[in-house]
Amino acid sequence: MDHQHNDLPSFWRSPAGICLGIVILVGGFYLLTEHTAHVFGALPYLLLLACPLMHVFMHHGHRHGGHSHEQPKRGNDEQPRQ
């Protein structure tokens, strides 16, 4: 199995990505220490929001592009199922 590697650098390893990661960490720490009641109050809504978001993002690899109601054509060597 030959895997092709992408030579493009990851966003999170770039200077902008590292800065964004630091900002997210500092902001998360600030939210947890200063606004704990607000964070815990939003948890039920975040749990409900996670369900449709996981549905959308987890189905990207299912190849649901072209829906067709036609039966797939069988080759000459395949036997029909009984």
**Residue bearing the bigger pLDDT, 31 or 23:** 23
The residue ranking higher by pLDDT, 9 or 62, is 9
Mean pLDDT of all residues in 31-39: 91
- The pLDDT value given to residue 49: 92
Q: What is the pLDDT of residue 45?
A: 94
Q: Is the pLDDT of residue 39 over 60?
A: yes
Provide the 8-state DSSP code for 37.
H
Instruction: Please tell me the distance from the alpha carbon of residue 16 to that of residue 23, in angstroms, as a whole number.
Output: 11
Residue 68: what residue type?
S
pLDDT surpassing 70 at residue 7: no
Confidence of residue 82 (pLDDT cuts 50, 70, 90): low
In the numeric block, the tokens 């080759």 are attached to 75
